[in-house]
Structure 1
């Protein structure tokens, strides 16, 4: 099978779960009905969970395997318990934290990024707020600047962000650590910074996790377009400006569940920014038409303007958008960015990639009541058009072939399916699971460590091996 196209993403806490954080006892089965009050597996202390979380923050990847079954009625309470242990781990671990959260621009901080990812990379940043904290926490904006003199760009970025009509809001405004070949916001050291920023922002308790927005201008426009597709599962919206990336670098499919804005001058022909912005608009328009209600976008070639446009319009449009952390349709092209692939996206988590370069893996998940269908393809891009001046690959044909190997975990929650009833999972047309899905504290722990997102702590999971018939 082959496809081609232009583009191609409340109840009481039972004793067994309380003991997860207070002490140890012997393991016993516990049904989802919630009638049994059995203790969890011996050895699962609260301090052990904190230590495990610290290991994950420091880069260790082993999963938590101790099983602690829980009742459905206890999911909400256990989510709070697990998240509190995650907060404790973040406070305990030895790393550079945020500077104090104060009025935006009052002071700046800096992080040393890992030497193995980029040599001598120190990232100065502003971290602060505008306006009074709203109910639910501040919306968070990441603003990334253009490729001029980095001191001037950073300073101008702060002035712009303070002036934008988006208060109440919180901002993280970094300065690029190095120039030359490292003046790219999507590179792996910067990925480390964005994930650290999100992780630390969420544990402050001052940020609304469903109102996170990435945007930037020029080089920051290129970067925020890539980041929007790479990190869409964390975002309510993204707003690159004066940019325009080839679609291979920022697959449109991944932006199905976010709001996406891209505004470029109609006369901005440097590096084909206007042409590429036009291609992005065509792709979003087509996806929105084929998927009514999804792919919300505002893509505009601003008449008569070159590389400079009115930057004041983007955040007022973004600030009204809110993330749905539990979409029942997910389209994810797991593309590499500076050699790095994401391990997870929304409720999907990859335990073994299905293919190697030049192929990518594409997942399409649909949930209808308690029936889940996931299509998994290997994707190869064939370049259709290359510009003669810079060698920029402009348009592509894509070949989709059903994947026959690889492993992934499908995390589940009461927001996605009714866990009191049977669940059916089909992958590439083949039934992979049918039955009751057990709820277990280990899934809350593993999803917390994987996504570091207070809205994505999943109490259930199904493991899938594509090679097993």
Structure 2
């Protein structure tokens, strides 16, 4: 007989190692039920943290990010629906002019639209520049606006809309595609499209308005051309690129409130948070995530394109110009209890189970507080190879 003796200290060390290994395993190979329970607890915790911050911001009616301050006003219309309020972020005109002129445009925007239901959120741009609504750090500020409204006014992140007039319309042209995963729909009034990435609008409805006599910066011509491009894309991708384009022949820059029909149009849509077919082109302000796609910010570059689609439990990477591509997954997008296949240019390169991971859950909740964009699995695509987190 062989007798084996362990010292208490050695046994304790062994037990701790075993316990840590089991704990680590339990956090990276979660059942669907365990992942859901972690998500509920983490969302509650993160919302409490956000509420403490936003209570101060909403009392002061301003959000500060680094050296930038976004002042704002809110009006609440109608009764709160069971699934949460809608949020309309309405961007004022002005632009590269005096602070006084932009202040006046802000005041005008506060009175411009009325809602049947929802929070009418009117920010004052933190800058007095021509690109005030789409330059750094508007993405970060918009994110804080949405997270703040989720906890302060019980806004449903699937019912968030962006709209804007003149320079605010310029902002909508840029922010609607760049932050498409935030919006249920967008409405642009009397703006200029510039270099906006139209393909990113594949999964959000877009309404455009311009006066036929609004010839400054060729707005009338360019908005009409934008509408024709949307018409073509809607034919190429049936069911996508939902849009309307309104050119009022006798109207100048001020459309005499004809554009107010945008409000009920916007309200008729809810966000498709997990579209099965996504096109993502990086803008001049870089992002590390777009819907369920991601990339390291340090390797992101303007103009890089990704096109990925899901069919059943297969992810088809149709085009990928990113050096590293992340695929964030959950059980609403596909079935993580089954093997997930990945094809690149039609060739299957992966066919395995993707483990649910507590860290992925926590990171996605902290980033957005968005109940519809909570992910539990992550795939990493690099050099044609696929790996799990």
TM-score (norm 2): 0.86
How much does 1:302 deviate?
A: 1.4
Pair 1:167-2:116 in alignment: yes
Determine if contact 2:89/2:163 at 8 Å carries over to the other structure: yes
Determine if contact 2:324/2:382 at 8 Å carries over to the other structure: yes
Structure 1 residues 290 and 97, CA gap change in structure 2 (3 angstroms): farther
1:82 aligns with one of 42, 54, 62: 42
Q: What is the alpha-carbon distance in structure 1 between the residues aligned to residue 236 and residue 227 of structure 2? A: 14
Moved over 4 A (4+): 352-356
Pair 1:135-2:97 in alignment: no
Q: Write out per-residue CA displacement over residues 157-215 of structure 1, whole angstroms, 9 at most, x where no aligned residue.
A: 11123xx2x22110221112332x36621111333321111122223461011110000
- CA RMSD, Structure 1 to Structure 2 (Å): 2.5
Partner of 2:106: 154
Partner of 1:71: 31
Secondary structure, in 3 states, of the residue corresponding to 2:304?
Answer: strand
The structure having more radius of gyration, on CA atoms, is 2
Secondary structure, in 3 states, of the residue corresponding to 2:191?
Answer: coil
Structure 1 residues 449 and 99, CA gap change in structure 2 (3 angstroms): closer
Partner of 1:461: 378
Secondary structure, in 3 states, of the residue corresponding to 2:351?
Answer: strand
Q: Write out per-residue CA displacement over residues 386-416 of structure 1, whole angstroms, 9 at most, x where no aligned residue.
A: xxxxxxxxxxxxxxxxx3x611210111111
Q: Within 5 A, what are the aligned runs for 1:165-244? A: 166-179=115-128, 181=129, 184-204=132-152, 206-244=154-192
Partner of 2:223: 277
Determine if contact 2:286/2:297 at 8 Å carries over to the other structure: no
How much does 1:308 deviate?
A: 1.1
Q: What is the alpha-carbon distance in structure 1 between the residues aligned to residue 373 and residue 328 of structure 2? A: 9
Structure 1 residues 25 and 138, CA gap change in structure 2 (3 angstroms): farther
Secondary structure, in 3 states, of the residue corresponding to 2:363?
Answer: helix
Pair 1:260-2:203 in alignment: no
TM-score (norm 1): 0.72
How many aligned positions are there? 363
Q: Within 5 A, what are the aligned runs for 1:375-394? A: 375-377=318-320
Determine if contact 1:352/1:408 at 8 Å carries over to the other structure: no
Structure 1 residues 438 and 111, CA gap change in structure 2 (3 angstroms): closer
Gaps spanning 5+ residues in structure 1: where?
1-23, 29-38, 43-65, 101-107, 116-120, 378-402
Q: Write out per-residue CA displacement over residues 77-135 of structure 1, whole angstroms, 9 at most, x where no aligned residue.
A: 22211211211332456x784425xxxxxxx72234422xxxxx433210231122111
Determine if contact 2:187/2:206 at 8 Å carries over to the other structure: yes
Determine if contact 1:114/1:189 at 8 Å carries over to the other structure: no
Gaps spanning 5+ residues in structure 2: where?
1-16
Pair 1:437-2:354 in alignment: yes
Structure 1 or 2: more helix by fraction: 2
